[in-house]
Amino acid sequence: MMDLVRKVNSTYAQVDRNLKILQQEDILESKYYGRMRMIKLNRENPKTEVTLKALRMLKHQQLHNVRYPVLNKQ
């Protein structure tokens, strides 16, 4: 899980909290192998696709803001 914490530049507590929420919604599945935790998307849940679509939209918006910062000032 520390790889994920580093990739999203966050804290362990924040990542853990969000992963728990996604698991409660059955968007993520996790399995433990000793101390290692493997996490994967549950592609069979329709909520997963909606969540992925929202994340893609946010990423697109962030890219737009980086490319055209003058247009985003008000």
pLDDT, tens digit (0-9, with 9 covering 90-100), for 45-73: 999 999 999 999 988 887 777 666 565 55
For residues 11 and 5, is the Cβ–Cβ distance under 8 A?
Answer: yes
**Helices and strands (H, E) in the chain, number of each type:** 3, 2
Q: Which domain holds residue 33?
A: 2-72
The CATH number of whichever domain residue 29 belongs to comes to 1.10.10
Strands (E) across 1-74 are located at 28-33, 36-41
Residue 24 reports pLDDT greater than 60: yes
pLDDT at position 62, please? 76
Question: Higher confidence at residue 39 or residue 62?
Answer: 39
The count of structural domains within the chain is 1
